[in-house]
Amino acid sequence: MAYLFTSESVSEGHPDKVADQISDALLDNFLAFDPDSKVACETLVTTGQVVLAGEVKSNTYLDVQNIAREVINNIGYTKGEYKFSGDSCGVISLIHEQSQDINQGVDRATKEEQGAGDQGMMFGYATKETHNYMPLALDISHKILQVLADLRREGKEIDYLRPDAKAQVTIEYSDDNMPQRIDTIVVSTQHDDFDAEEAMLAKIKEDIINILIPKVVAQLPDYVQKLFNENISYHINPTGKFVIGGPHGDTGLTGRKIIVDTYGGKGAHGGGAFSGKDPSKVDRSAAYAARHIAKNLVAAGVADEVLVQVSYAIGVVEPTSIFIDTYGTANVDLNDGEIAKKVSQLFDMRPFAIEERLKLRNPIYLETAAYGHVGKEPRIVTKTFESPYNNAGRVEKKVELFTWEKLDYVEKVKEVFGL
């Protein structure tokens, strides 16, 4: 029997994503000036206020207020009528030194013996469904909001958009798990108060359907474009006008959009958030490593769909388990337990080995904090950081983003599995 599956995404101006981006901007700055920094930074944003809290062990000192304000302005909260702007909000820092009780379990005599920063389980997932091995409903949801943000910044074809937005896509699947059509698209976007409510909502719906959606469809491959049809049910700002939004409309917290950050409800999630955490925290680094494994397994042809689970004990070097679920889609004559055994031999999942393999001790994290931590193209960029403290001055770093999305283990996987 056919079934429906739904995923959602939120924009960079969503309050929780504002908080995530501030946390990751702080992390990037700590790592830029001291790559050995240990950081766990949480952010709360609300009407006119930003609260920074968390634990840090670092040899550098930052102007955290300025970093937070710069992130907020870059997102687009620059006007007084938003009741939240980078230039006028208050920024309170409650960041303090990392607990020595935690640190003693992580730092060791040799880096190779670095223990996990916490206990827990982390998941990675990949599917043949899309070119980037991501669930299709989530991939489309992300694209809707990225194109919406582009339109907002250009301010030409649609000139009334504000930064806060959400999107949701429902896809109908066949019995054999093949996408058949787009059933429903939901878009809620913050906007200026530019007309009487009924006329305003009609204009927004018309622009979303006739300007935004065609631009999104044009970015999709042919087989996905064919899923769009005239019978899609659209819900555009279904509650009515959406003028009050962002941190003024809803308090934002770091780590509250972990399903948006990962696989949109497909696969699984261990519960640990990513943003604001340095890579000694396996909540983040091991989740990236698990995605790297899953993606390379699917790309190599081991299975059409793969879920990878890895677990750790705090302060312990080796993972306590590695689990593989191929959902019955394996293309090799091995059961999932046998596949997991080969994976554990091929991929070193000790925390320091993950950091080295994926180059995680670099300032690469702000770019992950909106529109998903996975599914993006790896690329090399040059980033500049400035600090008025400790004679640090200005640092320029060439870094590789989204290394866990590289298909650099495909040939090794094929060799190990005889493909």
Q: Is the pTM of this model over 0.85?
A: yes
Stretch (H or E) spanning 309: strand 305-312
**What percent of the chain lies above the pLDDT cut of 90?**
89
- The model's confidence at residue 117, banded by pLDDT at 50, 70 and 90, is confident
Domain coordinates of the chain in residue numbers? Answer: 3-8+135-246, 120-128+282-417
Quote the pLDDT of residue 304: 97
* 20 in a labelled binding site: no
- pLDDT at residue 172 is higher than 60: yes
Position 388 confidence tier, pLDDT thresholds 50, 70, 90: confident
Residue 38: predicted pLDDT: 94
The pLDDT-based confidence of 392 (bands split at 50, 70, 90) is low
Residue 76 pLDDT > 90: yes
Supply angle C-alpha 87, 88, 93, rounded to 5. Answer: 90
pLDDT in tens, 124-143: 999 999 999 999 999 999 99
- Helix segments in 76-235, DSSP class H: 100-106, 136-154, 197-207, 213-218, 222-225
Mean pLDDT of the chain: 94
Taking alpha carbons only, the member of 145, 151, 170 closest to residue 228 is 170
Is 16 assigned to a binding site? yes
Residue 98 marked ligand-binding: yes
Residue 118's pLDDT is 81
Please give the Cα distance from 20 to 17 (Å, whole number): 5
Q: pLDDT tens digit string along 243-276?
A: 999 999 999 999 999 999 999 999 999 999 999 9
Among residues 4, 10, 9, 94, which one has the least CA distance to residue 49?
Answer: 94
Number of CB atoms found within 10 A of residue 156's CB:
7
- 108 band by pLDDT with thresholds 50, 70 and 90: low
* Per-residue pLDDT, 402: 98
pLDDT attached to residue 393: 79
Q: What pLDDT does 394 receive?
A: 87
CA distance 95 to 15: 20
Give the residues across from 10 on adjacent strands: 166
> 167 among the known binding-site residues?
no
Tell me: domain 3-8+135-246, CATH 3.30.300.10, correct? Answer: yes
Asked if residue 261 belongs to a known ligand binding site, the reply is no
Rounded mean pLDDT, 153-164: 96
Q: Report the alpha-carbon distance of residue 124 to residue 319 in Å, rounded.
A: 15
Rounded-to-integer distance, Cα 306 and Cα 296, Å? 10
* Annotated binding-site residue? 241: yes
Cα 285 to Cα 279: distance, rounded to the nearest angstrom: 5
Tell me how far CA of residue 244 lies from CA of 69, 81, 249, in angstroms: 20, 9, 5
pLDDT over 70 percentage in the chain: 96
CA atoms within 13 A on the CB side of 34: 20
Is residue 104 over pLDDT 70? no
DSSP string, 400-419: EE-GGG--TTHHHHHHHHT-
pLDDT tens figures, 22-50? 999 999 999 999 999 999 999 999 999 99
Is 257 annotated as contributing to ligand binding?
A: yes
How many C-beta atoms lie closer than 10 Å to residue 346's C-beta? 16
Is the fold of 3-8+135-246 the same as that of 120-128+282-417? yes
| Residues 181-216 pLDDT 10s | 999 999 999 999 999 999 999 999 999 999 999 999
pLDDT at residue 110, rounded to an integer: 65
Say whether pLDDT at 109 is over 80.
no
250 is in an annotated binding site: yes
The span from the CA of 12 to the CA of 35, in Å, is 26
Residue 332 has pLDDT above 70, yes or no: yes
Which of 299, 329, 289, 290 has the alpha carbon at shortest distance from 410?
299
Q: In the CATH scheme, what architecture does the domain 120-128+282-417 have?
A: 2-Layer Sandwich (3.30)
**In the sheet that 161-173 helps form, which strands lie side by side, from edge to edge?**
3-10, 161-173, 179-191, 233-236
Residue 353, amino acid? A
Residue 417 has pLDDT above 80, yes or no: yes
pLDDT of residue 106 exceeding 70, the answer is no
The answer to the question of whether 165 is labelled as a binding residue is yes
Quote the CA–CA distance of 66 and 304 in Å, as a whole number: 46
Q: Is 277 annotated as a binding residue?
A: yes
The kind and range of the H/E element at 118 are: none
Instruction: Give the pLDDT score at 111.
Output: 67
